[in-house]
Amino acid sequence: MNIANRTALITGANRGIGLERHLAVNLMGPFNVTRAFLPLLKRSKGAIVNNLSLAALAPLPIMPSYSISKAAVANMTQSLRALLAGEGVKVHAVFLGPVDTDMTRGFGIPKASAESAAQGIFDGLQNGQEDIFPDPASQTIAAGWRTGVVKALERQNAAFVPASAADVA
């Protein structure tokens, strides 16, 4: 594969959906919704639930733009979690594995039903999990994620948040 073909994979020139579009939907969409509702979330001590993907943690090479955008929103989720904790706003990340939707049609892989994934998300929220792994594929890495070096670094970095950090968000 030459450089032009690799660039087409990332820009989406071969599929009509490029990195800019994925970032607009998967990163800027949740960012703008969060920003719009932030005053209400602070007053109500509410919660943000961002729908991510296992591709946020390890890229799916056949979908690089999607993976990049999900990694970006995962980073935003972790940042907001630290920045808004002092305001009483909880921020949850949902790391979904393959779910039986239009997006995964044609992939010959095991998929969770949308209903079971939704139930797993509600169960995770009820159990107070900040990182939710709601389906069989994602549950295989949940314990390793929660006790891993990246999660430890997220907690360590959260200690750098100044008391007035919620204004930054």
Q: What does 44-76 look like in DSSP terms, one character per residue?
A: HT-EEEEE--GGGTS--TT-HHHHHHHHHHHHH
Gap between the terminal Cα atoms of the chain = 41
Q: Which fold has domain 3-167?
A: Rossmann fold (3.40.50)
Model pLDDT, residue 167:
52
Answer yes or no: pTM beyond 0.75: yes
Model pLDDT, residue 31:
97
Which one has a higher pLDDT value, 94 or 167? 94
Number of C-alpha atoms within 13 angstroms, CB side, residue 40? 6
Model pLDDT, residue 104:
72
Question: What residue spans define the domains of the chain?
Answer: 3-167
Tell me the two tokens of residue 141.
């890495």
For the chain, what percent of residues have pLDDT higher than 70?
A: 86
Average pLDDT, the chain: 87
User: Which pLDDT tens digit goes with each residue over 116-127?
Assistant: 999 999 999 999
Q: Where are the beta strands (DSSP E) in the chain?
A: 47-51, 90-94, 131-132
Q: How confident is the model at residue 102 (pLDDT cuts 50, 70, 90)?
A: confident
Which one has a higher pLDDT value, 107 or 89? 89
| pLDDT exceeds 80 at position 1 | no
| pLDDT exceeds 90 at position 136 | yes
User: Which pLDDT tens digit goes with each residue over 10-58?
Assistant: 445 445 468 999 999 999 999 999 999 999 999 999 999 999 999 999 9
Q: How far is CA 78 from CA 17, 65, 98, 100, 156, in A?
A: 26, 20, 22, 27, 12
Model pLDDT, residue 32:
97
How far apart CA 118 and CA 112 sit, in angstroms, is 10
Model pLDDT, residue 165:
60
